[in-house]
Structure 1
Amino acid sequence: MAKTIVLYFSATGTTKRAAQQVARLLNADIAEIHPVKPYTSEDLNWHDESTRATVEQKQEHDGRVPVQNDLPDISGYDNVVIGHPIWWGIPPRLIADTIDKLNLNGKHLATFGTSSSTGYDRAQSNIARTIKENHYDVDLKQGNVLNSQSALKDWVSSLNFN
């Protein structure tokens, strides 16, 4: 039977709750992604152009924010799910650093975001570009914004993990 792990980054708890539900539905293990420097509520004020999150998200496409070196060993998993908030239309820059640090070759990868106002198209493109930069041979599933119970359940059932 295929093994699945859900990795997630959550600054406010919203993505954590979605990740826990996804993990339950997939009977998956779960682990949190930790930034080297945790975010404060002041860092997340998107109304202020000078806040940390705003500055980070406006970096060039190859911008990265480092994550702690505590990611789980994914070698025993067939399926990897990565959950993240959507900031300025894309995943937080630490998701690219996470993907850089994981050996995703031969894996099925699915990503999801949480947002009350943004779709997943730009986030999907961002993830696909990071996969390509790493030259991973990975089956990248279509991601989605999980902003309701029905969206979450529909997306999980669409994954068709082996």
Structure 2
Amino acid sequence: MQLHQFSRRDMLKLSSTAAVIGFFAPLFHISPVQATENLNKKALVVYFSMPETDTPHNMTREEENSTVVIDGKVLGNTQYVAQLIQEMTGGDIFRIVPQTPYPTDHRTLVDLAKEEQNENARPVIAGTVNLAAYDTIFLGYPNWWGDMPMILYTFLEQYDFSGKTIIPFCTHGGSGFSRTIQTMQGKQPNATVIRDGYALSRSRMERAPSGVAEWLKEVGLKK
């Protein structure tokens, strides 16, 4: 999916994204031979995103804060970043979807997210993904109440990432990653979790295309 014509709040239009140049070696400190082997395998972009509306018109402030509109289609903030990463790396993509849909009303959703956190809930995920074909997995989510949404805990406990590299990215309202990267490493001690993830404020979504491109150069991935 080619992403263009960024229209959230009519701030700008996106030009086509360029291919990201680089290699795995600078990030993972591996040999050129190993880097070449890794480049022959696709990355997987896994994300959870929760846009609070699917209607691009007459949004409330809360709805605007949770969404980006591309060519009239509403995307969640994290969904938008995930699709940019997928486009720029040529990887595959998988969306984490709860079996029981979350509410889109802002206050109801915020309260439910806090309730799940307080109860240490593990929301059931609809569908599965085969991780066997991937060595590198981008994992994205919004920061809710200073943590990953609890459905990310479900995902991290449902799959074995041993020997794989996890590259986190998140969208947030000011909290960045909080301690989610450390939590991720604790849940998957046999995986390599990259600490230089990509965190983007919901008030700076217009920076996503250039920001993701620069970050991927630092990460060392190419299409």
Q: Shorter-chain TM-score: what band?
A: 0.7 to 0.9
Instruction: Report which stretch shifted further, 27-36 or 143-152.
Output: 143-152
Q: Which protein shows a greater Rg? A: 2
**Residues 63-74 of structure 1 mapped to structure 2, 5 A cutoff:** 63-74=120-131
After superposition, the Cα gap between the structure-2 partners of 1:81 and 1:67, relative to the gap in structure 1 and judged at 3 Å, is farther
Taking the aligned partners of 2:141 and 2:109, their CA distance within structure 1 comes to: 20
Q: Percent identity?
A: 25
Unaligned runs of 5+ in 1: none
Gaps of 5+ in 2: 1-39, 52-75, 202-206
Give yes or no for the alignment of 1:23 onto 2:83: no
Distance (Å, rounded) in 2 between the aligned partners of 1:156 and 1:11 = 24
Displacement of 1:36 after TM fit? 2.0
1:4 aligns with 2:43: yes
Paired residue secondary structure (1:40): coil
Q: CA deviation at 1:46?
A: 7.4
Note if 1:111 corresponds to 2:111: no
DSSP 3-state at the match of 1:54: helix
Greater CA deviation, 111-120 or 77-86? Answer: 111-120
Aligned length in residues: 152
What SS is found at the alignment partner of 2:80? helix
SS at the partner of 1:45? Answer: helix
TM-score by length of 2: 0.62
Deviation at 1:29, TM superposition (A): 0.4
Moved over 6 A (4+): none
Alpha-carbon separation, structure 2, partners of 1:146 and 1:81: 15
Partner of 1:98: 155
CA change 1:47–1:66 in 2 (3 A) is closer
Q: TM-score, normalised by structure 1?
A: 0.82
- Spell out, residue by residue over 1:61-92, the C-alpha distance to the aligned partner (whole angstroms, 9 max, x if none): xx242232512101011111111111011110
